[in-house]
Structure 1
Amino acid sequence: MTGSAAITAMAAHGVTRATVPWKAEQSVVTINGARLAMSMIGPADGIPLIVLHGGRGFGTHDGVFATYAPLAGRYRVIGFDMRGHGRSEDVAPFTFAQMVADIETIRQTLCGGRRIVLLGGSFGGMIALTYAVVHPDALLALILRGTAPSWHHEAGALASFRARAARAPMATEGMLEKLFTPTIESDEEFRLIMFALAPMYAEDPKTLDYDKILLHTAKTRYNARVHNDLFADHSYDVVGRLSSIHCPTLVFCGAEDWICPPDQSRLIADRIPGATLEIIVDSNHGVPGTVALQHVSRFLNDRLPKP
């Protein structure tokens, strides 16, 4: 594994040596017995900013790393494929607790035990929230994009799907149920479900490029076992512990987020003392990278001012 995918993603996001005067470093690092694909950019003494990808069972860090690589300088941006995802090794267990343990080991071994800024979206946001309630004193700041504090968001996602079903004519409620349960039968079934649901994530359903969706779906690694294991213990719920998070926190999401509806971000922001909430108009689940970077940069400049 060369890590070239992260560099390709950076170029696709317009991130070059001309815009970011740091060279991205790609490596494979053994963390708690699993070899994890990792990318880093920025000075070794920069504030550690760990970015977590979404996509339970199929995500990679390439996109989120490329989005926030321009923060390199004051920050050392670190992204990695969680175990069982992307180019990282399939080493069980695949649980929220293990993902949190992996982040803590990265903080201790690669960040010198320093406090970190932790950023995650969607599934990555759920892992970030779980880390935050377990290790609140390890955080300088917490940034959450389009996520939820419990599994109860699934009811809102189903309602959104029913309201927008015409966008994804191949998708069914049965497929969505499989997406939220440990019942996907194979990697290929997983791939087909995500291909059918892909139009639900589009920012503008009128400009869907099905050829691009097909190419992306064909290239993505889907791991049904990892997905199923992460849904096997359907008890994720940190709502009652959010008040223990005391670091500066930004919560933002698209106003049209279908799978983690805005009421979930409002709930998080209401329960975390002093949290900042931003609802991005005309945005779906993903929030365009340039928009996300703008909001995150402003938040960090305001809440973590330079000495």
Structure 2
Amino acid sequence: MTRSQTTQGATSQSTTQRVRINGNELAVDVLGPPDAPVVIAHHGAPGLGSRAEPRASFGRLADEYRVVVFDARGSGESEGSGVFSHEQWAADIDGLRQWVGADRIVMAGGSYGGFMAMEYAIRHPERVLALVLRDTSADSSNMGRARQNALTNDRVKIDMEKFDRIDQGRVRDDDDLRECWREILPLYDHVYDPAVVERKVAATPYRYRAHNYAFSVNMPTYDISALLPSISAPTLVTVGRTDWITPVECSERIASLIPDARLEVFEKSGHSPQVEQAEEWTAVVRSFLHQVL
């Protein structure tokens, strides 16, 4: 693996930087004091997610921590060369760790970013000080639950042909990904607001190739359940009570498999307690980090 810095060093606290990691240029933001403990936070939804969400949520901790957020290979503003495998994305995380100059990090991630946070902790246990997870799953069994939840929801009628194409990684292009995303977005929040859905549709960066690879190649075989007991880093698992796509039982299972993991359920949240109960979620994460670091 090779890495090189393409812009100014990692001391910048707010400006987006273009950083070449393992032959692929990533868009990276670094916030917080240069000498503080480093938190690397991974966004969810490959091909749909971006550093904007972890920047907003973990950026609240930048008064005490060096927070690194980035668009993963193939997502947001980052280059999309190579493959979009978990192995490659985990290697990119470690390249970022080296670039920012941290021997050990707090690894964090929500939703699909939680998959990668756990994958990194399993692959690089000596590099992880603590693990912070949100609304995620240890295997792909959540997708069956999610489909049933989509069918039985009482908010909107879901076009299941669009649901299956986004769920199975069969979208045709970026425009098609946008329409499929619009179809399922009403399911995500604790309180449904059509105007919020449209704002999210407009704000999302669409990269269908990364999305299709993640859901057609990675997800069918994704299962790290047997490896979770090997995680020795202190772990916080957070989840919204009405999360439709990675339901509470997924987080309960993770917390039962990782030794001494702590589980926090947010009663007035769906898939995004870091947004819907922002103050409470941030306080829980901050308290956890104070205890374990």
TM-score, normalised relative to structure 1: 0.86
Name the counterpart of 1:17: none
CA distance in 1, matches of 2:86, 2:72: 11
Q: Does 1:92 align with 2:76?
A: no
Equivalences for residues 170-249 of structure 1 within 5 A: 171-205=158-192, 208-210=193-195, 212-231=196-215, 232-233=217-218, 234-249=220-235
SS of structure 1 residue aligned to 2:221: coil
Report % sequence identity.
34
My pick for the range that moved more, 68-77 or 132-141, is: 68-77
AA in 2 matched with 1:74:
E
Report the counterpart of residue 267 of structure 2 in structure 1. 281
Deviation at 1:23, TM superposition (A): 4.7
Please tell me the residue identity of whatever aligns with 1:159.
Q
Tell me which residue corresponds to 1:30: 20
2:279 is matched with: 290
- The code of the aligned residue for 1:148 comes to S
SS of the aligned residue for 1:35 comes to strand
> How far apart in 2 are the matches of 1:36 and 1:168?
37
Aligned to 1:301: 290
How many angstroms apart in 2 are the aligned matches of 1:40 and 1:290?
22
- One-letter amino acid of the counterpart of residue 198, structure 1: L
Q: Show CA shifts across 1:42-84 (max 9, x none).
A: 1222111001111221111112112222322431000000011
SS of 1:100's equivalent in the other structure is helix
The unaligned stretches of length 5 or more in structure 1 are 1-21
Give matches, 1:1-307, under 5 Å: 23-112=13-102, 114-164=103-153, 166-169=154-157, 171-205=158-192, 208-210=193-195, 212-231=196-215, 232-233=217-218, 234-287=220-273, 288=275, 289-304=278-293
User: Deviation of residue 292 (structure 1)?
Assistant: 2.2
SS of aligned partner of 1:167 = coil
Q: 1:290 to 1:265 in 2, by over 3 A?
A: same
Does the CA-based 8 Å contact 1:143-1:250 persist in structure 2? yes
Q: Which runs of 5+ in 2 are unaligned?
A: 1-11
**SS of residue in 2 equivalent to 1:25:** coil
Q: CA deviation at 1:159?
A: 2.0
Structural RMSD (CA): 1.6
CA distance in 1, matches of 2:211, 2:152: 26
Greater shift, 85-94 or 288-297, is seen at 288-297
How far the C-alpha of 1:157 sits from its partner, in A, is 0.9
How many residues in Structure 1 have an aligned counterpart in Structure 2? 277
| Match in the other structure for 2:8 | none
> Any idea what SS the aligned residue of 2:17 has?
strand
Q: Specify the code of the residue in structure 2 equivalent to 1:128.
A: A
Output the CA distance in 2 between the equivalents of 1:293 and 1:67.
8
